[in-house]
Each structure stands twice: as structure tokens, then as C-alpha cells.
Structure 1
């Protein structure tokens, strides 16, 4: 169940990061409220996951999901650069997440 909590926390991290961008410096109320609600949910689910998962594993996977998700949203929907080097960097983050998950199971 902890991994499910962690995955959902990571997805909410993507939501709040995108909402923060869309809030235009907290000048758009709907995006700002979305960000705050998603942030609270993300932190809450991360805390639940950390009941049984190691700190380093949980935090690394949580931030990695958020980083990759924000990168993907930025590239696919917000028109941010999608260069080979940025894609390689994202691939390295995913590799790190996989290794962190595998090491937690050991």
C-alpha cells in the first residue's frame, strides 16, 4: 500500500507543480487553490508512504516522479524544449528511480 501512496503522492506533485506554473505568480486564484490542495494531498500521501518505506527511497522516488512528470507536461503541453540531452537526463532520472525501487525490495 505504501508504494501506491507514494505513486499517488508523486502524481499530485506533478499537479501542484503545473498549477504553480499556471498560477502566474499566485495571481490566478483557481490555479493557486489547485496548487495548495494538490500540495497538501501530495505531502499527506508521502507521509503515509514513509510509515513503512525508507526516507531516502520514498523521498527520491517522490521527487523523481514529480521531476519526470513536470518535464513531460512542460515538453508535451507547454511547448518547452525537448532536446536529446534533456531526454537523456530524464532517462537517467528514471533509471535512478528504478534502481531505488529495486534496492528497497532487497
Structure 2
């Protein structure tokens, strides 16, 4: 008879992961989606909306860094608990995607140089 391993979902970690995703999306909304004015090339002043909206929006960008850190820590926790994970597999995937990204970047430079795609 086979040994069956019963896998149970860990809802608390799944909920925290969803919360991290919401924080990341809210951060992108605050940084890229809300009308903003650059002051002294350091500080952002949000225009439009009430004072409460502006105050709330000022705290959203910090959630992006926290959300990304939470998301990666939870993912790492689940990867460490996997029985069939290996460092070699992760390194091979990282090298493959690094080379692929580099090739795509060089292709975009060449295409923009000849005016085929993008360019100034």
C-alpha cells in the first residue's frame, strides 16, 4: 500500500500572501496612478482629493517594499518545505532567465538603434 501524504492548506500564510499582493498593488497605485507633483526632486506632493485622501495616499508607497518582502519570505518558506526542491534547479532557472532577459534587452537596443522599435 502506498504512503499517502495528506497536504493541508495553511490559510494564514495564504491570507498574508494575498494581503502582501494588495499592498504591492496599492503602492503601484500611489506611485504611478495618483496625480503627483515633484517638489525639490525628493518629495512628492499629491494633488487632488480631500486632505484625508492625500494623507492616506502618502502612506501607500511604503507598503510596496513591505509587501514584496513578505511575498518573498512566504514563497521561500514554502520552497524550503518542499521535498523535491534543489539549489541546482533554482540556479539553472535563474541563469536561464538572466540570459533570456539580456538577449531581449540587446535585441531591443539594436531595434531602437535602427528606428524599428522605440527610439528617440
TM-score w.r.t. the length of structure 2 is 0.32
Q: Which has the higher strand share?
A: 2
Larger relative CO (CA 8 A, sep 6+): 1 or 2?
Answer: 1
Q: Larger C-alpha radius of gyration, 1 or 2?
A: 2
TM-score normalised by length of structure 1: 0.35
